[in-house]
Amino acid sequence: MGEYRQDLIDRAARDHVLNASEIESLLTDDEAEKALAAAADRVRQEFVGDGVHLRGLIEFSNICRCHCMYCGLRCDNSKIERYRLSPDEIVELADKARGYGYHTVVLQSGEDLQFTAPVLCGIIRRIKAMDLAVTLSVGERSYEEYQAFREAGADRYLLRIETTDAALYERWDPGMSHARRIQCTLDLKKLGYEVGTGTLVGLPGQTPAMIARDILWYQQIDADMVGIGPLIPNGDTPLGKAAPGDWHLTRRMVSLLRLLLPEANIPATTAMETMVPHGREVILNSGANVVMPNVTEGDFRRKYALYPGKICVADTPADCRACMGGRIRAMGRFVAADKGFRHHGRRRQDDERAKVCNH
């Protein structure tokens, strides 16, 4: 790696600013990967500390109205076994998540409109009564619905844009509007949610320049959470024969996000470990500070088939919690015992040590 690249990394770590061409040059430089990861790990430790926030993922419905051409939940996929949990089942899983030591649950589904605003608000209120933070990931809804969820107690909302390139977005998400996706994200910010977004790395036609623009957009909107994952082709979708996303490019993107959004929450995604053994540890050492273990039970874990080969589908939620906690401790990190809200404008360093969770 040349001196110019190291200078870029040092400046990003110090000033948290790069332009599009500088970001692109680091994204495409294989030799910069280790130095990027090391710098991101230092910035992660400085700004968000050594705690890893575990968020219990409840995949409560795999029914979806959308046609996204990379996703196994797409409504056109007749091979998937559909399911929908009841509100009582969802709340019961949240209660079990609390028992495993989680402080946040993530309620995720396809765009299943049978979960109306009144239904979801009732679920949110019951879970908030357990003193849990609630993250929603249920897709595009109206401003009024987002407002209702927020008033019911929802804290965070995940709405990945996948790509900020409008033409690419509308090519692989037919029937959806890039402008609408942007507006939903801005609506969520306006309503006071911690807002999560992110990129799917490896969409056919995607370029490093597009990914650089994604990063700059995440900076522009001051994203609170950014989830990055590689495309893992699903044979039951139109992109079933596409090339997988580049794992190393994805890792470099995660590191750059930590350098340029130092306070953000960045997950080590399941997809990264599906592609590379112990991939979550690698990504946690490359700038990430969040893991979302699955707390859905039984065969529903298998049926939420976004992509093939997903890890841990045969494990119990208790196994996942114990396994991930042990792996985090083996890294010299610890499981954070707070709800993991973003801390604005201050470095955390080692002050989280007092909050170590012993579960």
The pLDDT value given to residue 352: 43
Angstrom distance (rounded) from CA 34 to CA 341: 28
Q: What is the pLDDT of residues 56-86, one digit of tens each?
A: 999 999 999 999 999 999 999 999 999 999 9
Angstrom distance (rounded) from CA 317 to CA 311: 13
Question: Token match 């623009």: residue?
Answer: 213
Point out which residues pair with 199 in neighbouring strands.
162, 228
Domain count, the chain: 1
Point out which residues pair with 209 in neighbouring strands.
none
- The CATH number that applies at residue 277 is 3.20.20.70
Question: Token match 């989280």: residue?
Answer: 352
The pLDDT value given to residue 346: 53
The tokens of 276 are what?
Answer: 């590379």
Q: Report the relative pairing of strands 56-61 and 225-230 from DSSP bridges.
A: unpaired
Is residue 68 a known part of a binding site?
Answer: yes
The pLDDT value given to residue 356: 43
Low-confidence stretches of the chain (pLDDT beneath 70)? 1, 346-359
Task: Determine the angle formed by the axes of helices 3-15 and 247-260, rounding to 10 degrees.
Answer: 50
> Are the C-beta atoms of 224 and 196 separated by less than 8 Å?
yes
Is residue 323 a known part of a binding site?
Answer: no
Is residue 286 a known part of a binding site?
Answer: no
The pLDDT value given to residue 343: 86
Spatial neighbors of 78 by CB under 8 A, at least 6 apart, are none
The pLDDT value given to residue 344: 85
The pLDDT value given to residue 355: 44
Is residue 86 a known part of a binding site?
Answer: no
The pLDDT value given to residue 347: 53
Domain, as residue range, for 255: 3-340+348-355
The alpha carbon of 293 is separated from its chain's Cα centroid by a whole number of angstroms, namely: 12
Percentage of residues in the chain with pLDDT exceeding 90? 92
The pLDDT value given to residue 4: 85
Of all helices (H) and strands (E), which one includes residue 95? Answer: helix 87-100
The alpha carbon of 24 is separated from its chain's Cα centroid by a whole number of angstroms, namely: 22
Identify the three-state secondary structure at position 272: helix
Is residue 150 a known part of a binding site?
Answer: no
Q: What is the pLDDT of residues 96-118, one digit of tens each?
A: 999 999 999 999 999 999 999 99
Q: What is the pLDDT of residues 226-260, one digit of tens each?
A: 999 999 999 999 999 999 999 999 999 999 999 99
Is residue 320 a known part of a binding site?
Answer: no
